[in-house]
Every structure is written in structure tokens, then in C-alpha cells.
Homo-oligomer: A and B are copies of this chain.
Amino acid sequence: MIDSAEPQSSLRRALGLLRLVGAAEAGGIRLKDLAEQAGCSQPTAHRALQDLAAEGFVEQIGKRYRLALDFFVLAARAGHADGLRDLAKPVLLRLSATLTDTIFLLVRNGYEAVCLDRIEGPFPIRSFTGDIGGKVPLGLGQGSLAILAHLPEAEREAVIRFNVPRLLDRGFLDEAGLRVELEKAREQGWVNLNTGLIPGMAGLGVPVFDAQGRAVAALSVGTLADRLRPERLPGVVAILKAEAATLGAMLNPFDTALRHPSRSLSSVA
């Protein structure tokens, strides 16, 4: 309803509906509300939803629409987009095995960091990003901060401008505090904050740089504050940084592949 620019094409409208279905509570959403929120007539919404359902993107349980599992399956492939998730899998597994803590792989996506993968440690960790597919504003959480800190200055400033209000909203750092943390992160090359969701929890994040030296992702660890005390911290930092470097190095060849893509694409099943 806050939308100003009305999408003009039927496709845009339908995708908006799809988004609304995704945003709905777990129980699903009714046609009436959908039409209202989308600002279109009920018949229009109805037809779009029928098509969406026919293609397996939404399902209709009784009178309520929700995202279908097929959609989930299709979208899981989006994470594979640049192969990062597959490349990072062994890295995450190694980290998980070595540190026995919860490990996160975050990627930058505009003003946010998205959790691309996560391996659970023995302690249940509540992170800002939540589960796989979750996102946070850049600047909130260790990995997210690590990415932001190492962005090119102009870009970083743009993100800060955009995100500071959102961070305040969520009751965390104000701009001054954020800048202090960013400065520290840039100096150290890693982020260690104890301002987790739960007292006693802590985390550590390091940036991952691609071939062009841009901070495109982050590896991070979530654990008990106890497990990041001075005697263990440096070791964890070293391990994380090493794996981040490994991952960054693997980003190289693939990026090259993108510039000179194989033409095996035409033979898709």
C-alpha cells in the first residue's frame, strides 16, 4: 500500500502477488486480502493465483494461498547461482569440524547480507540472519559487518546512509558506534562482537574477497562468549582467515569462467 510506482504489466502484478503470498503468515493468505494488499481486483488476483498454482509456485489449502514446495525447490537453485555455495561447502565443513561451532556463509546482496549456508554446532545459535535464506542489513552481525567494513568507500557510505535508520530501528548501533566498529574491523581484518541476541553468545566474522578484491561474502562463527576468550580467539581468527582466503582463491577461476562461458549451456535437459 506504500507503493508509489504501480507496475504496469500483468506479470509485474502477478509477481507482486507472489511476493505477498511469501510475506504472509504461515497459515497462508486469502484471496480477498491478497487482492486488497496488491491493489487489484479480486478476479484479477484470482486468475493470477490460478496460474501461479498451475505452475506449481503457490498452493491452495482450502481458501488460503501459500508458497508451494516446488517453489522452494526451484529457489534452492538460486543459491547455487555463482557456485559459491558449492565451493564453500567443504570450507564450512572443515571449519565446523575444526571449531565445533556454528558456521555461517553470508553473501552480500545490495544493502543486505544473505545467509547462503550454515552448519550447526553443538550449541543452538540464534543469529540475526536466522536460518539459510535469512537476511540482515549490512552492518548488523559480525559477518555482515565484516563485509560492510571492506567495501569500497563510496559504496560503504551509500550502504551506511541507507542502513543506519534500519539499524536504529532494530535497536542496535547508532551511526557513531557503527563507524567505530567499521574502523576497528578494517584495521583488524575481522569482527568480534559480543552484542549477540543472547547474552553470553558471541561471534566472529571475516570477509571473503573475490578476484577483484571486493568483499563479496563473509565467513562467520557463532558460539558461546566463553569460547572466544583471549586464549582461544587468535587461533579461531587465524583459522577463519585462512579458510576465507582459500574460498576467495576459489572464486577466481569461476569468475573467469563467467567471462568466457562454456557453450555447453545450449544442451540443457
Interface centre among A14, A57, A69 (most CB of B within 10 A): A69
Known: A22-B74, A61-B258, A114-B69. A55 touches B120 (CB 8 A): no
A12 to B55, CA, bound (A): 7
List chain B residues, Cβ under 8 A from A109.
69-70, 73
B72 close to A114 (CB less than 8 A): yes
- Of A80-88, A158-166, A225-233, the segment with at least 4 beta carbons within 8 Å of chain B is A80-88
A78 close to B75 (CB less than 8 A): yes
A64 to B81, CA, bound (A): 11
Known: A81-B66, A120-B119, A261-B64. A76 touches B15 (CB 8 A): no
Interface size on A, residues (CB 8 A): 80
B81 close to A67 (CB less than 8 A): yes
Check A249 for interface membership: any CB of B closer than 8 A: no
Check A37 for interface membership: any CB of B closer than 8 A: yes
A11 close to B12 (CB less than 8 A): no
**In the complex, what residue of chain B is closest to A269 when comparing beta carbons?**
B23
Known: A27-B258, A69-B107. A10 touches B12 (CB 8 A): no
**In the complex, what residue of chain B is closest to A79 when comparing beta carbons?**
B72
